[in-house]
Structure 1
């Protein structure tokens, strides 16, 4: 039986804070198909964002998860076993207001812990937040240092993608 399970990605975006490594990126989940045919691959982004009045959960269908606005990179962290269960779980991950140390990456780390605890929404997975965070920061840092996001035509290409399950890059 062929295995064509959707994939769960960690996505990194610039946060707008350049002089603080800890706050440098905005973190989100992307959900997309295993096989990405063509230039446009629809999917879903799930994340929390601070609109100035507090943190809110947002789930949005995306026209193309290979190259969303400001996307820096995608990291495959899991094969999705039950997408509906995963989405429901993400809706239930607590959002904390009024704590200056709580951010989007806190929510991502908490969500990964809940996904691991659930044990049913994903199958093969790398859910260790410390490994994911360290790798993702290094990966995007290396791509930035090597000029991957400059000049402007580079921004139109599908964004760098690393598969932590297979330990290989699928889009340079």
Structure 2
């Protein structure tokens, strides 16, 4: 019997710090459905952001997971087994203040470690931060080099998506 469980993605957005390779992207998570077609595909984004008041955790409902304007790419990393458990885990992660080395990327790496330790919120998954980060940087770098983000028309297209579970591109 085929599974239609929601999927967990790593998301990359431009950070505004283009001259620093390590801080070039803003990192987060996205939850969306397995089946994606041409219709509107709702989901949600989960991340931490730095504001004048410090780091804050944010959950944002998305009307369409494929066409979020600022999104550069999605990296599929897991099939979700227990979505509420996963969301609860993300909500409980520490949001560190006053540490200049802590940022969104640190939070994502910490979340992946906690998801792996939990062992119940996701099934088939790639949760190794070093593999995910290398894959995501390479994928977005290749898309940038090929001109994928140059025109305004490209920003409204479905976003490039790499499937780490099947090691293939699923949305060009």
TM bracket, shorter-chain basis: over 0.9
Aligned-pair RMSD on alpha carbons? 0.8
Deviation of 1:39 (Å) = 3.8
Counterpart Cα distance in 2 of 1:108 and 1:80: 16
Structure 1 runs (4+) deviating above 4 angstroms are none
Residue of structure 2 equivalent to 1:104: 104
Which secondary structure does the structure 1 equivalent of 2:162 belong to? Answer: strand
Counterpart Cα distance in 1 of 2:37 and 2:133: 28
Deviation of 1:40 (Å) = 1.8
Structure 2: which 5+ runs fail to align? none
Residue of structure 2 equivalent to 1:155: 155
Residue of structure 2 equivalent to 1:14: 14
Residue of structure 1 equivalent to 2:47: 47
Counterpart Cα distance in 1 of 2:50 and 2:155: 25
Which secondary structure does the structure 2 equivalent of 1:27 belong to? Answer: strand
Matched, 1:168 2:162: no
Cα deviation digits, residues 21-65 of structure 1 (max 9, x gap): 011000010000000122421101000001121001001111111
TM-score if structure 2 supplies the norm length?
Answer: 0.98
Residue of structure 1 equivalent to 2:95: 95
Counterpart Cα distance in 2 of 1:64 and 1:40: 5
Choose 48-57 or 113-122, whichever is displaced more: 48-57
Deviation of 1:163 (Å) = 0.4
Cα deviation digits, residues 100-125 of structure 1 (max 9, x gap): 00000000000000000000000000
Deviation of 1:150 (Å) = 1.5
Aligned residues: 172
Residue of structure 2 equivalent to 1:133: 133
Q: Is the 8 A contact 2:74 2:162 kept in 1?
A: yes
Choose 50-59 or 79-88, whichever is displaced more: 50-59
Residue of structure 2 equivalent to 1:30: 30
Counterpart Cα distance in 2 of 1:18 and 1:2: 42
Counterpart Cα distance in 2 of 1:146 and 1:156: 17
Which secondary structure does the structure 1 equivalent of 2:132 belong to? Answer: helix
